[in-house]
Amino acid sequence: MLNIEEILKISDEMGIEIIDNTEDKHYILDEHGEKVEFSMDMLMKTEESTSSKIELRVSTDYSDAKFSSSYNLVNCENLYVSKSVSINESIIDAA
């Protein structure tokens, strides 16, 4: 294993805050910026927390052998999206 100096050097290069240990704990900032005790279990939730928590209202319109679907974003919680979509914004997928 790397020695403590090397670990501190990597942490410093990454700009990670290291403080004197007074409570025998490590910390992570929560969504409010508050320090909470860190545990590896929290990292297991990373993927879960980005899982699809969206609610779409879908309607389909058929006419003249063509159809279009309208996706309306009703709810979205903590979802990583490549393109921002606002609540109640509709996306029309025509074919």
Q: How many residues bind another protein (CB under 8 A)?
A: 46
**Beta-carbon contacts of residue 77 (< 8 Å; ≥ 6 apart):** 53, 54
Q: Does 50 bind another protein (CB under 8 A)?
A: yes
Q: Which CB, 16 or 94, lies closer to another protein?
A: 16
Q: Does 87 bind another protein (CB under 8 A)?
A: no
Contact (Cβ atoms closer than 8 angstroms) between residue 85 and residue 91: yes
Q: Which one, of 30, 23, 34, 55, lies nearest residue 45 by Cα?
A: 30
Q: Does 42 bind another protein (CB under 8 A)?
A: yes
Contact (Cβ atoms closer than 8 angstroms) between residue 68 and residue 93: yes
Q: Does 57 bind another protein (CB under 8 A)?
A: no
DSSP state of 51: S
Among the listed residues 12, 45, 59, 67, the single contact to another protein using CB under 8 A: 45
Tell me, residue by residue from 22 to 41, as one string, x for binding to another protein by CB under 8 A and - for no binding.
xxxxxxxx-----x--x-x-
